[in-house]
Amino acid sequence: MVVAEVLVMNDPLDDAYDVVVIGGGSAGLNGALVLARARRSVVVVDAGAPRNAPADAVHGLFAREGTPPAELLERGRAVVRGYGGQVVSGRVEEVTRDGDGFVVGLADGRTVRARRVLVATGLVDELPEVPGVRERWGRDVLHCPYCHGWEVRDQAIGVLAGGPMSLHQTLLLRQWSADITYFAHTAEPLTDEEAERLAARGIRVEEGDVAAVEVVDDRLVGLRMADGRLVRREALVVGPRMVARVGFLKALGVEPVPHPAGEYVQADATGRTDAPGVWIAGNASDLSAQVGGAAAAGAFAAAQINADLVNEDTERAVAVYREASVGAGAGAGAGAGAGAGVGVGVRGGAGRGA
């Protein structure tokens, strides 16, 4: 497999931030961008292994179609930094609650405090254990027709069955090529109705186990069956088991739940998890999110986090304001106002504007 760890030039790490974003893919970086533009102190801690690293380009992405994944993220980091956000490389190992905030612990021993946490660590694709699949992953072994279907259009495509989505994937691929073979491999036998649906679309079925992906001159040329035959193909589609990368949230009681295609973290429509103060966005909470969807979820969660912090800031300001008002006595409103900071400014401004 091509391991394309993305180089992250480090910013220095402060002691505390409004928000620590864990994971610097499209979800995390877009979340950090929105938070930095909302004038929040924010750091992205990123382990540098985005899910689509093995691919040459990002497809199906508005206005950035065909951009290499590493280039897209480099642009994303630069924009976050341009608004005063920070991006550091590191792996978060644990997040614990501390008062009304959090302590985020990194694998290198550093810790950082956060008022809120945005988790955007993506998922791991657990690939079928067929020799050659891992080595060709993201090149001519694929999973998502919307990401790569165009690139393999009209080619001889195989679908390696085994997951719950195999049949759906096979019928979907027929939109991109008329030459599709369904490799039954370890899948449950097809029902008569399923076999009829495949036959009706001209999709061939190969029974029997697949032994290996055959490669010649750095190109996939077919699938070697356990009985020794080579079935010629130019691309292979697999259904990985997709598992959210969230082990570091255990201490907060946030754990992934089963999904037919893997494991993900449940959150509400805004990305809020069951753990107060912790939001999640991107593939970690939505296994089907593509780059655009993950980025959008990151931005939306960031706006909710900012609103939550605005509420907290306001409550704190009100408490200070009341205390100052009481301390100054009933007739000393002007003096109390001067000491109440933000709360008074907002309140006075709103009153005049109305």
What is the number of other CB atoms lying within 10 angstroms of the CB of residue 16?
13
Residues in the chain: 354
Q: Tokens 């924010």, residue?
A: 42
Q: Which is nearer to ligand FAD, 190 or 249 (CB)?
A: 249
CB of 170 to ligand FAD, least distance (A): 19
Give how far Cα 125 sits from Cα of 51, 138, 208, 348, Å.
Answer: 8, 11, 24, 53
Angle (deg, nearest 10), helices 192-200 and 166-173 = 20
CB of 19 to ligand FAD, least distance (A): 14
Q: Which is nearer to ligand FAD, 22 or 299 (CB)?
A: 22
CB of 34 to ligand FAD, least distance (A): 14
Q: Which is nearer to ligand FAD, 54 or 343 (CB)?
A: 54
Contacts of 136 (CB under 8 A, 6+ apart): 213, 215, 220, 236
CB of 16 to ligand FAD, least distance (A): 18
Does residue 172 contact residue 145 with C-beta atoms inside 8 Å? yes
CB of 310 to ligand FAD, least distance (A): 25
Q: Which is nearer to ligand FAD, 120 or 301 (CB)?
A: 120
Q: Which is nearer to ligand FAD, 147 or 336 (CB)?
A: 147
Say how far apart CA 120 and CA 34 lie, in whole Å. 14
Torsion of CA 291, 293, 297, 300, to 10 degrees: 110
CB of 187 to ligand FAD, least distance (A): 21
Q: Which is nearer to ligand FAD, 155 or 314 (CB)?
A: 155
Q: Which is nearer to ligand FAD, 95 or 336 (CB)?
A: 95
CB of 271 to ligand FAD, least distance (A): 11
Interface ranges with ligand FAD (CB under 6 A): 22-28, 45-52, 54-55, 58-61, 91-92, 120-122, 125, 138, 144, 147, 245, 248, 282-283, 289-292, 294
Measured in whole angstroms, the distance separating CA 14 from the mean position of its chain's CA atoms is 25
Say how far apart CA 50 and CA 25 lie, in whole Å. 6
CB of 189 to ligand FAD, least distance (A): 29
Give how far Cα 330 sits from Cα of 151, 176, 299, 348, Å.
Answer: 74, 76, 45, 19
Rounded to 5°, the CA angle 291-120-70 comes to 50
Q: Which is nearer to ligand FAD, 66 or 333 (CB)?
A: 66
Give how far Cα 243 sits from Cα of 21, 257, 268, 288, 332, Å.
Answer: 20, 10, 19, 12, 60
Question: Coil, strand or helix: which one is 264?
Answer: strand
